[in-house]
Structure 1
Amino acid sequence: MACQNYIGGEWHDSTSGETIPSRNPAVPSEVVGEVPVSTVDDATAAVDAAAAAREAWAETPGPERGAILRETGRLLAERRDAIAETLVLEEGKTWSESTGEVQRAIDIFHYYAAKAADIGGTVKSSSSRATTLSVRTEPIGIVSAITPWNYPLGIPAWKVAPALATGNVVTLKPAENAAVTATALVECLDDAGLPDGVLNLVTGPGDTVGEALTTDDRVDAVSFTGSESVGDIVYRNAAPDQKRVQLEMGGKNPTVVTPDADLDAAVDIVGSGAFGVTGQACTACSRAVVHEAVYDEFLERIVEYAESLSLGPGMDDPDMGPQNSDSELSSTLEYIAVGRDEGAVLETGGRRAEDAGDGYFVEPTVFADVDPAMRIAQEEIFGPVLSVIPVSSYEEAVAVANGVEQGLSASIVTQNLREAHRFVDDIDAGVAKVNEKTTGLELHVPFGGMKASSSETYREQGDAALDFYTLSKTVYLNY
């Protein structure tokens, strides 16, 4: 498939004329699509188109905007299998994971379609008998949305849908190795009747296209999901114009296993959190913080869990697919080497899984006796690597869980009600879970991190997303 930019309601080649291949990570020789290498001129044209469409879309009634979002959800459902297959081939997810992500996007568009009719404001009681006091909700304006490759449909959906529902215009820049899937989403919005220029798609490098979309003084807000290092650049680029910024970045997410935990549940919770989506989720569990009373038994069982997982191309629907790229695979293997050098005990995995095929497959990996100060216990790996850390008390477990720079998602497995409540109070994370895996999010509640995992400004999803994309105007009407 030859992808194009989508600017002002029309599909265009990049002004550079250059493309790069988006490859199937399970079969790297297979090209899923050719993606435009866009330029600053392309990004500027996209913002031009957004600026031209801004006023008319902001004045479009909420129910009318909602109808387009609802139709987008219907088209996503109608094309579910084709889009899921594209997602499998481009990102590497299993069929089950990919169909789940498509369904998530459908649900997001239906949710914000309903919300669009309720956006407008509130009426408050005035202290004056002759004044009507109200708060109006208005769109912030032009939004740049920059999205990663690991959820190539879900993350664009949860940025674009609330932005459009609230009357904003958007330019979307997906990761270059996720652009074919993002294109499928934009095609659904186009076919749903979205007016020209309201949504624009531009692909290309972050240091040119991304920078242009975050520094253009006409852009009012930037929503970014990706690495901490790039997020810092985005924040600095947006700061001079005081743009509103939403950053969702990495995590080093723990699951605490207490002495009274149901170990069957604990193994499933940790295993699915660590190895689901090949560990390529910002909310993936990368640290199991286990009380010494159950440490040996838990370790034996989690090793068995890892060794039971099947690997293969996503269309075969194995338990785990490949990593997304050669660079991601190399990074994971480098961290595994670091863990061994640091003295952690490699219990299972640790190698490229060549018997799964020629793709970027790595064995599910478990390290034991990990010291909390080791790099593999401190730095995000973004692969199926689990560090098992022994602790002797609840207090030590929380100290270890909080002892990293990030604070995105965290969970505890316990049957002790007091410890469950204490954990929710004590943990420094934007998402706290009890007897659940660190991955998996409800779409109608806020999502975001603390510390280096986030800008700690605005959350995504639910009503929190509406807050990010809107401004409040207080109106005093004296009659």
Structure 2
Amino acid sequence: MSTTIFPISYKGDFINGRFVPVTKGDGEVKNLSPADLNDLIMTVPFKHDHMDEACVAAKKAYPKWATLSMDERRSYLLRLKEMFDTHAEQFAQIISRDTGKPAWEAMTEAKALGAKIDITLNQSTKLVADERIPNALPQVDGVIRHRSRGVMAVVGPFNFPAHLPNGHIIPALIVGNTVVFKPSEQTPAVGQFMAEMFEKAQFPPGVFNMVQGDGAGGGRLVANEHVDGVLFTGSYEVGLKIKQETLNHYWKILALEMGGKNATVVWEDADMDKAVYESLVGAYMTAGQRCSCTSRIIVHPKIADEFTERFYQAAKKLSIGHWTENTFMGPLITSASVEKYIRFQEIANRENCESLMRGKSLDLKNKGYYVTPSIHLVKKFDPNSVYQKSEIFGPNVAIYTTGDWNHAMEIVNSTGYGLVMALFSKNKELYEDALFKARVGLLNWNRTTNGASSRLPFGGMGKSGNDRASAHYAIQYCTVPVASLEDPTPFDPTKILPGMNLDMK
């Protein structure tokens, strides 16, 4: 990948098919790269009224878009895929600058955008295909159809600022919804570039809209009367606020993906090389800023010393640095994230966990929000421990030791979150037992917790979501199932119900 920096200039919010700059706004975001605080990507003013204007535009565009055939909408999305694919290098660089993630990782995200369109068009649409049921009632056929909902608000996260909102936007559009997208205020350049791709793909005005904003702007969007659904990826706390903002809006569907405190169980018969490598990837990729990251590792005592030592030695050698340097780990997203990460080092120590590897701020040649990975050994499982149950969203992992399988499962289920569990063992019976006992939406066998397939559902239990699995299943919450009974037979006067005296002439 070239390190030639592509120019980025502020264009405005994308409303009704054109960019509308904010001149007199409600505030602004200085978009500094977390990888280099001297890299001011752009200054982004925002205006809360634009949320309302975008919702009106989406509402107005909806009837015409929804009544196009699936094939007609497909042609627009294929054009968008072409834009994504031909601009992947530029997209990846903007992702790296906005998030700090290494170039190789950002390119993986950029390439996933077009792939999501392929998977949605070729596979996920089958989940909402029309189905005819002969004799659903005697001599009456039934038909199941899926119709669009209306205007969908997509609220994006910073950690996958293109791929995760794209995972909502594409299924919403293909079935006939219109979209208002609010990017994270941490990654406004990615949001703007996504809107540029829609502009280049020449979607009808109002079908896709992008409005920048802060938390208050997000609140304004989800509470808008024209919004029929809110599709969100982010923290439990923000997901809860969205739920509260829309409590009286009974007509709105909410698809909330809200984080995790994920556990990996490494049993005595595990492939040690694989368990160590996969767990490092799970714990420290994206600097631990994934909802599916490995936060806890539960190790069988027979292999605990070897696993822990090898994991520790490898973690010490992980390269950390600027996105152009092909490192494994970039920075955290903000100074507040660094403060939280450092604070949890102290909380872990205070709650009687041993610090095997201390997380601290790093002073590198590029001034950014860099930290070192950390490991804590949990001496005693405590379901009420703040450290043991909180999502830190940084490169920290807690290591537990137990030889009691049921106790391991108790630890897995103890945090209130329920996104992913991973099991490293050759014993299929343990895996099948975990499938029953683990309260998670994803369970991986001999593979780490992070990295999911768009061909599968993605969603969790408990505090990890509200039972609206995304990825392959996202297309389902973007539609309403409509049931029809179709009776082609003429009226039969011999079948009039008792007690009815119709004057049939």
Cα deviation for residue 309 of structure 1 reads 0.4
Task: State whether structure 2 residue 405 is matched by structure 1 residue 405.
Answer: no
Task: State whether structure 2 residue 386 is matched by structure 1 residue 375.
Answer: yes
Q: 1:12-52 CA distances to partner (integer Å, 9 max, x unpaired)?
A: 1236334321111111121112223221x111101110011
Task: State whether structure 2 residue 97 is matched by structure 1 residue 85.
Answer: no
Cα deviation for residue 166 of structure 1 reads 0.8
Cα deviation for residue 275 of structure 1 reads 0.3
Distance 1:116 1:338, change over 3 A: closer
Contact 1:3–1:180 (8 Å) recurs in 2: no
Q: 1:96-141 CA distances to partner (integer Å, 9 max, x unpaired)?
A: 1101111111110222233587555211112567544212211011
Which among 241, 253, 271 is matched to residue 244 of structure 1? 253
Matches of residues 18-29 of structure 1 in structure 2 within 5 Å? 18-29=27-38
Task: State whether structure 2 residue 360 is matched by structure 1 residue 317.
Answer: no
Distance 1:353 1:239, change over 3 A: same
Which among 183, 192, 196 is matched to residue 192 of structure 2? 183
Distance 1:117 1:382, change over 3 A: closer
| Higher-helix-fraction structure | 1
Distance across 2 between alignment mates of 1:345 and 1:100: 36
Distance across 1 between alignment mates of 2:71 and 2:80: 14
CA RMSD of aligned residues (A): 1.6
Could you tell me the percent identity over the aligned residues?
A: 26
> Hey, what does 2:459 align to over in structure 1?
448
Contact 1:156–1:182 (8 Å) recurs in 2: no
Cα deviation for residue 252 of structure 1 reads 0.3
| SS of equivalent to 1:126 | strand
Cα deviation for residue 358 of structure 1 reads 1.8
Task: State whether structure 2 residue 12 is matched by structure 1 residue 13.
Answer: no
Distance 1:15 1:122, change over 3 A: farther
Distance across 2 between alignment mates of 1:74 and 1:478: 45
Contact 2:149–2:478 (8 Å) recurs in 1: yes
Contact 1:69–1:110 (8 Å) recurs in 2: no
Contact 2:124–2:475 (8 Å) recurs in 1: no
User: Which region of structure 1 is more displaced relative to structure 2, 79-88 or 231-240?
Assistant: 231-240
Distance 1:366 1:132, change over 3 A: same
Q: 1:156-213 CA distances to partner (integer Å, 9 max, x unpaired)?
A: 1101000001100010011111121122122112211211000111111122x21121
Structure 1 unaligned runs (5+)?
Answer: none
> Hey, what does 1:231 align to over in structure 2?
239
Distance across 1 between alignment mates of 2:450 and 2:201: 31
Task: State whether structure 2 residue 231 is matched by structure 1 residue 220.
Answer: no
> Hey, what does 2:104 align to over in structure 1?
96
| SS of equivalent to 1:148 | coil
Cα deviation for residue 3 of structure 1 reads 4.1
Q: 1:425-455 CA distances to partner (integer Å, 9 max, x unpaired)?
A: 2111111111111001110211111001111
Cα deviation for residue 71 of structure 1 reads 1.5
TM-score by length of 1: 0.96
Contact 2:264–2:296 (8 Å) recurs in 1: yes
TM-score by length of 2: 0.91
Which among 446, 450, 470 is matched to residue 460 of structure 1? 470
Letter in 1 for 2:20: H
Q: 1:373-426 CA distances to partner (integer Å, 9 max, x unpaired)?
A: 232221000000011111121111111111111001111110112112111221
Cα deviation for residue 81 of structure 1 reads 0.8
Distance across 2 between alignment mates of 1:54 and 1:32: 34
Distance 1:296 1:173, change over 3 A: same
| SS of equivalent to 2:338 | helix
> Hey, what does 1:390 align to over in structure 2?
401
Q: 1:293-321 CA distances to partner (integer Å, 9 max, x unpaired)?
A: 11111110110110110110012110111
Contact 1:289–1:389 (8 Å) recurs in 2: yes
Distance across 1 between alignment mates of 2:428 and 2:469: 28
Distance across 2 between alignment mates of 1:346 and 1:45: 52
User: Which region of structure 1 is more displaced relative to structure 2, 400-409 or 177-186?
Assistant: 177-186
> Hey, what does 1:255 align to over in structure 2?
264
> Hey, what does 1:125 align to over in structure 2?
134
Which among 67, 84, 88 is matched to residue 76 of structure 1? 84
Task: State whether structure 2 residue 484 is matched by structure 1 residue 475.
Answer: yes
Distance across 2 between alignment mates of 1:290 and 1:427: 16
Q: 1:212-264 CA distances to partner (integer Å, 9 max, x unpaired)?
A: 21112221111111111111110122221211111100200000011111111
Letter in 1 for 2:273: D
> Hey, what does 1:343 align to over in structure 2?
352
Structure 2 unaligned runs (5+)?
Answer: 1-8, 489-505
Task: State whether structure 2 residue 450 is matched by structure 1 residue 439.
Answer: yes
Task: State whether structure 2 residue 71 is matched by structure 1 residue 63.
Answer: yes
Letter in 2 for 1:126: N
Task: State whether structure 2 residue 317 is matched by structure 1 residue 289.
Answer: no
Letter in 1 for 2:36: V
Distance 1:412 1:130, change over 3 A: closer
